[in-house]
Amino acid sequence: MSNVCEDQVFSSIFKAHSKTVFNYIYYKFGNEEKANDAVQEAFVKLWENCAKVTPDKAKSFVYTVANNLYLNVIKAEKVRLKYADNSNDRSNESPEFLMEEQEYKQKLDDALNALPENQRTTFLLNRIDGKKYAEIAEMEGVSVKAIEKRMHLALKSLRDKIDGL
């Protein structure tokens, strides 16, 4: 049976989950430094407890440690995200279109920061990290239904805000 104390096993768990731990904490608090620290803290704890934590439990272990680290401790800051430049035919777009798109992204940014922390985290974990609702539910320690509710509300208020309703 593989053991988290083995260097290879540990490294593969680190590679698989450290980015999500980082993003998860970043979505919550909008602080890169704190998110980096949370990754370090979570995985050092995992290493210290490697004899007790089985590989299949390691994932939820690091999320829990990272999440508890800042529980009620720090205030959320503004979350700053980038947009991938995925349009190959950008040159063909009219300047008006590009301008309008830039405005839209700005509105989305503002709307995201206006969301309650748990809705924003759920929305971004799904949109950026491609996490299924069930996975997010496990990370947050709530039911899938609760995550669906958060997602529904997040979509609704983002749209309301962007469309200026």
Partner 1 sequence: MQENYLAKWLSGELSEEELAAFKLSAEYKSFERLKEVSSTLEAPEFDVDQALVRAKENFGTAPKVITLNPFKPFLRIAAVLAILLVGSYFYLGTLGQTVTTDYAESTNVILPDNSEIILNAESQITYSKKNWDKERNINLEGEAFFKVAKGKKFTVATEDGTVTVLGTQFNVENRQGFFEVTCFEGLVSVTHNNTETKLPAGNSFLVINGEIISDLEKPIGDTPSWMQNESSFNRIPLQFVFAELERQFNIIVTTENVDTDLLFTGSFNNTNLEMALKSISTPSQIKFKVEDDNVLFYAGNTSK
38 is an interface residue for partner 1 by CB under 8 A: no
Which residue has tokens 């990370």? Answer: 139
Task: Pick between residue 47 and residue 141 the one whose CB is nearest to partner 1.
Answer: 47
What's the distance, Cα to Cα, between the start and end of the chain in Å? 56
1 is an interface residue for partner 1 by CB under 8 A: no
Is 60 in contact with 106 (CB distance < 8 Å)? no
Residue by residue, DSSP assigns 91-139 as GGS-HHHHHHHHHHHHHHHHHHHHS-HHHHHHHHHHHTT---HHHHHHH
Task: Pick between residue 15 and residue 72 the one whose CB is nearest to partner 1.
Answer: 15
Which residues of the shown chain bind partner 1 in the complex (CB under 8 A)? 5-7, 11, 14-15, 18-19, 22-23, 26-27, 32, 35-36, 39-40, 43-44, 47-48, 50-51, 80-84, 86, 101, 104-105, 108, 123-124, 126-129, 132-133, 145, 147-149, 151-152, 155-156, 158-159, 162-163
